[in-house]
Amino acid sequence: MKLRYVLIGDERAVSDTTSQKDCLLTGLWGWSRAASRYGNRGDVRLLRRIEDLEQYDIVHVNLTGGNWALLDVVGDMLKESSTMLMANIDFSVSDWDNFPYFVMIKKMFSHVNIPFHVEPVGASALSHVIGRSVYCLPHPCDIECLDRHKQVDRENYITSVYHRYHPMVNCLWMAQIDVPMQRVLLGYSKGNVPTLPMFDSVFPHLPFMEAVDVMSRGRLGLDLFPFPVAGRAVIDFAALAIPCVCSSQIYSGTRLFPDLCVDPFDVKRANSLLLDLIGDDEMYERIFKKAYYGVSFYGYKACYERLVEAFEEVRK
């Protein structure tokens, strides 16, 4: 089925990615690209009029603290329309306290035809709150584009992923004690922990393709985010054919790197896995190959097909 899809948002996030060598950031914006590639049309636009909304089969709202009333407004406009409203909560369950009037969430989602979350824990929680089924639809990744940026000859370092919403540095460092590789911290933006004694290189939050360059040149990844998330950095590591030791709370980690998943605070186990990977070439190859071929689950085609399945099921 060739769907017409629009995300209500600022189109600059997508239109600024103009170079054929540039990949679109893994995540929310990928839905428009997936619909463009495999559907009839995929846009990101700031729409306000019903006649514009009804040009599409699906209108998508990504619910943040700043657009809390948008679901109610758009849903009311589309209540007599054949255009379906699709919506998700932008944050991990651990961050739902960012919403000041969360008790209104059931009312807001009463307008939504396709409610979804990007990982199973959040989908289950949202389903519990709104009292109906919620789809688990991970945001897409342009795996074909990232594949063109994977490296054959890599440098001897581990790329550790820093998350600005939940700053955590000490666990990343502890996991790498006595591992004979350089330590790189990617995405460091704030925090009270001085990183100079801990890491050989520290990068701030970078444009996506610059971050991809850092990740692709390293030999291993490390992501110990402690709360339930889809885990786009882990998806990117898999698309770049790089093993990533990761938190068992990261959904993509459990799918792509099940042998490398650890409790996010079990730094001793994470350390042991890093040592195993650098000491066992067969293990290293087996694990990156499984993830590299399994990452198609997050590709534009697979994500679009799951969207079509949800659309057809709701339309019945």
Cα separation, 3 vs 107, in Å, equals 27
Where does the pLDDT of residue 188 fall: very low under 50, low under 70, confident under 90, or very high at 90 and above?
very high
Using one digit for the tens of pLDDT, what is the confidence trace for 172-184? 999 999 999 999 9
303 and 275 within one domain: no
Cα separation, 260 vs 245, in Å, equals 5
58 and 196 within one domain: no
Number of domains in the chain: 2
Sign of the torsion angle spanned by Cα atoms 45, 49, 53, 54: negative
226 and 133 within one domain: no
Where does the pLDDT of residue 18 fall: very low under 50, low under 70, confident under 90, or very high at 90 and above?
low
Task: For the chain, give the mean pLDDT.
Answer: 94
Q: What is the mean pLDDT of residues 230-259?
A: 98
228 and 135 within one domain: no
Is residue 17 pLDDT above 80, yes or no? no
What is the percent of the chain where pLDDT is above 90? 85
Q: Write down the pLDDT at residue 301.
A: 98
CATH number at residue 17: 3.40.50
Is residue 20 pLDDT above 80, yes or no? no
CATH number at residue 273: 3.40.50.2000
308 and 229 within one domain: no
Where is 263: in which H helix or E strand? none
Q: Write down the pLDDT at residue 269.
A: 98
Question: In this structure, what token pair is assigned to residue 173?
Answer: 């460092």
165 and 74 within one domain: no
186 and 46 within one domain: no
191 and 65 within one domain: no
Q: Write down the pLDDT at residue 167.
A: 85
Q: What is the mean pLDDT of residues 68-72?
A: 87
Q: Write down the pLDDT at residue 68.
A: 79
| CA-closest candidate to residue 196, choices 219, 176, 214, 173 | 173
286 and 206 within one domain: yes
Identify residue 27 by its one-letter amino acid code.
Answer: G
303 and 293 within one domain: no
- For residue 283, the Cα-to-chain-centroid distance in whole angstroms is 26
The most confident of the ranges 11-20, 103-112, 182-191, 271-280 is 271-280
Where does the pLDDT of residue 27 fall: very low under 50, low under 70, confident under 90, or very high at 90 and above?
very high
Q: Write down the pLDDT at residue 21.
A: 66
138 and 159 within one domain: no
Is residue 121 pLDDT above 90, yes or no? yes
Length of the chain: 316
Q: What is the mean pLDDT of residues 151-172?
A: 94
Cα separation, 224 vs 263, in Å, equals 8
Cα separation, 3 vs 8, in Å, equals 16
Domain that holds residue 238: 147-297
Is residue 190 pLDDT above 80, yes or no? no
259 and 191 within one domain: yes
Q: Write down the pLDDT at residue 65.
A: 79
Is residue 35 pLDDT above 80, yes or no? yes
pTM of the model: 0.95
Cα separation, 139 vs 315, in Å, equals 22
Q: Write down the pLDDT at residue 189.
A: 86
Q: What is the mean pLDDT of residues 154-175?
A: 94
Q: What is the mean pLDDT of residues 48-64?
A: 95
What is the percent of the chain where pLDDT is above 70? 97
